[in-house]
Chain A
Amino acid sequence: MAYARRFLVDQRELSKQERGVLQKLIAAAELVAPLYEKQKNQEYPGANFYPFNATKQEIEKAAKKNPDILSPYTFVERKGKKLVAVPYSKKFNKELTQIAKILKEAAALSTDKKLKAYLAARARDLLQDNFDKSNTLWLETGQSKIGCVIGPFDRYHDKLFFQKRLYTSYVGILDKKRTEEIDKFRQAILVGEKRHLPGAKQAKIPRMKVRVGHTAILSGFAADFLFVSDNLPSSADLYLIKKKGTISTIFYPLLQWRFSTWIWPIYNVIFSSDLQRRFSQEDIEDAFLRISAFSEITRSVMRYDDAAPRLQELFPYFDEIYADVLTIKAASLLYLKGTLTEKELQAILVAEICQGFYYLGCLDKWPHLQTNAVGYALLLDFLLRGNALEKQEGRFTFNFQKAFIAVDELSNVLEYYLSIGSRKDAEEFLGKFKAKEVLEKFAPQLNEILLHQQKQTNSV
């Protein structure tokens, strides 16, 4: 199935009963894939949330009379001349009832009180199109051995209003040791209080946790976008995050896959041999785990109340890369305080560059990752223009000092748009930025990466 990905997980530390719970949750997650497929498939009536021939203005006008039109959990359909809102729970009633039934069975089997309460609440919420109760209970399950997220949460396919939610699911087993390691960094990153630009409406987040998980299945949105981490409540539910906080889950097997398939080969293709000698595979792999975790941590603390409604569909172009830029900045502060060594900090920058090439490299294959690709194109462009990245015989050398200056500059630009910039300004800025021209500057390296990918695929 295209929108469900299974991973082998070591279940030896689970009791027989816990394995039973895990199997049920995997079965429930598998049922999410067809829902996501229907949300995405152009041929399905109601796919992409709005009728194909409805204009943005027409939808806005209809929403004034019927606010459900812009509800996160409805499809908009044309009935005669009118636009009507059909709730997800109605449209997918049969499928959601089946998923809810399995969740209830898993809840009945579980002896983990917090997980039990959460699963039972999630089963109810799936049929009510409101997830606040179960999302609140999810936040209590931070230490549970088994983790399961299921429901409609992210908004990436709503290209008109950045409102409608996509069905997603991930199920996995907590990696306690790695979670504890990352938690130390979380505490060190989350100290201090940042001053904001005058007029910025900063959202204060009371708490955030990171779970590193041995993922057993990704389904729906999570399987399609292949992000190595995700947070719930998602940024779409900022009001709830502000009240209760959020949990980020890192999909460790996916992170390992991306590292071995993309990041490490990219490192070996784009950088000069001098730079390559400086870091081992382990150095870059550790750095890759850190940037994945740090970006989730920094993302949770730098939220603005009005950023998404103000920037609408342009919001993710700024938001995604801002988390990565803040990751580099957070790492540089950890270095200054003696938590990271100079080499570890350098490896973090290198891993971010490789991640940038990953998003640019897979853009043709996965065009839905465009927002991330544009963001990283911005970062690479700032690094190039700041002379932090320099070409030598077709490969890049790196000036770390100049890189931090370039990152600071980009950070200020992104902070402006996310905190106070108008949608018009943001549109103008993105309009002036020619991502394609940046791609051309990196074309030889990107071609080499893609050729390497091709060879790997052929040899499997």
Chain B
Amino acid sequence: MSTTIVNFQKFYVTKEGLVKVQKEWERLREFKHRKTMGETPSLLHSEEANPEYLSFQEDMTLLEARLVEYENILSNIELIRPPGKEGRDMVHLGAMVTLDMEGTIEEFMIVGTIEADPMQKKISNESPIGKALLGARVGDTVVPNTSMVSHRCKVLKISYHEK
């Protein structure tokens, strides 16, 4: 029997991210439904365990684990909202930040771990840069706290999407 460890941490997502998580959960649920509606392979093949049944069980276990994972996310989700006027000069979750990273100018959004995708310029709040930036203001220079790499990042611009 497999055990799925469920934790109760908060999952921060944007509205867009929430829609994606819900869609994925529905897709997995629908997939499970279709799988179990079909013909289930029988347990025994001659006198030995049917390999098709074992493979089916393995797939189902993985699917169940993914569903539990998504249900856990959905029940602990916290929507990222732009801060009020007075907090907009500071980096919070959901902020678009432009940085001078020792000569390289980069722009990205700070998001929760499940939405993080540096290829799409979305950086996790738990990454070394994400952690260091939370609470920073325009003009601040932050240095991510890592034991290996020391990199100075100067905040050039902070903005928030309204939707």
| A residues in contact (CB < 8 Å) with B | 184, 187-188, 191-195, 332-339, 342, 345-346, 400-401, 404-405
Check A336–B149 contact: CB distance below 8 A. Answer: yes
In chain B, positions 101-147 with a C-beta closer than 8 Å to chain A are: 101, 103-108, 116, 118-119, 121, 123-124, 126-130, 144, 146-147
Check B118–A192 contact: CB distance below 8 A. Answer: no
CA A329 – CA B144 in complex, angstroms? 15
Point out the residues of chain A lying under 8 angstroms from B150, CB to CB. Answer: 401, 404-405
CA A346 – CA B146 in complex, angstroms? 13
Check A188–B101 contact: CB distance below 8 A. Answer: no
Q: Which residue of A lies closest to B147 (CB)?
A: A401
Point out the residues of chain B lying under 8 angstroms from A332, CB to CB. Answer: 148-149, 151
Point out the residues of chain A lying under 8 angstroms from B118, CB to CB. Answer: 188, 191, 334, 337-339
Check A187–B106 contact: CB distance below 8 A. Answer: no
CA A30 – CA B104 in complex, angstroms? 44
Given contacts A187-B119, A339-B118, whether A401 and B129 have CB atoms under 8 Å apart is no
Out of A333, A337, A401, name the residue touching B148 (CB < 8 Å).
A401
Q: Which residue of A lies closest to B103 (CB)?
A: A195
Check B148–A192 contact: CB distance below 8 A. Answer: no
Check A195–B105 contact: CB distance below 8 A. Answer: yes
Point out the residues of chain A lying under 8 angstroms from B149, CB to CB. Answer: 332, 335-336, 345, 401, 404
Given contacts A191-B106, A192-B104, whether A338 and B124 have CB atoms under 8 Å apart is yes
Check B129–A337 contact: CB distance below 8 A. Answer: yes
Point out the residues of chain A lying under 8 angstroms from B146, CB to CB. Answer: 335-336, 342
CA A191 – CA B129 in complex, angstroms? 15
Tell me the count of chain B residues lying within 8 A, CB to CB, of chain A: 25
CA A339 – CA B126 in complex, angstroms? 11
CA A193 – CA B127 in complex, angstroms? 21
User: How many Å from the CB of A64 to the closest CB on chain B?
Assistant: 40
User: How many Å from the CB of A330 to the closest CB on chain B?
Assistant: 10
CA A339 – CA B108 in complex, angstroms? 14
Check A404–B129 contact: CB distance below 8 A. Answer: no
Given A332-B149, A334-B118, A336-B149, 12 new contacts (CB under 8 A) = A191-B118, A192-B106, A194-B104, A195-B104, A195-B105, A333-B151, A335-B148, A335-B149, A336-B146, A338-B130, A342-B147, A404-B150
Point out the residues of chain B lying under 8 angstroms from A195, CB to CB. Answer: 103-105
User: How many Å from the CB of B113 to the closest CB on chain A?
Assistant: 8
Q: Which residue of B lies closest to A192 (CB)?
A: B106
Check A346–B123 contact: CB distance below 8 A. Answer: no
Point out the residues of chain B lying under 8 angstroms from A400, CB to CB. Answer: 147-148
CA A405 – CA B151 in complex, angstroms? 10
Given contacts A337-B118, A337-B123, whether A194 and B103 have CB atoms under 8 Å apart is yes
In chain B, positions 52-87 with a C-beta closer than 8 Å to chain A are: none
Check A336–B119 contact: CB distance below 8 A. Answer: no
Most central of B106, B107, B108 by chain A CB within 10 Å: B106
Check B116–A338 contact: CB distance below 8 A. Answer: yes
Given contacts A192-B106, A401-B148, whether A335 and B101 have CB atoms under 8 Å apart is no
Out of B101, B116, B148, name the residue touching A342 (CB < 8 Å).
B148
CA A114 – CA B126 in complex, angstroms? 44
Check B103–A336 contact: CB distance below 8 A. Answer: no
Most central of B106, B107, B121, B149 by chain A CB within 10 Å: B149
Point out the residues of chain B lying under 8 angstroms from A334, CB to CB. Answer: 118
Closest 7 CB pairs of A and B: A338-B127, A192-B106, A187-B119, A332-B149, A192-B104, A188-B118, A337-B118
Point out the residues of chain A lying under 8 angstroms from B123, CB to CB. Answer: 337-338
CA A219 – CA B66 in complex, angstroms? 48
Point out the residues of chain B lying under 8 angstroms from A339, CB to CB. Answer: 118
User: How many Å from the CB of B114 to the closest CB on chain A?
Assistant: 12
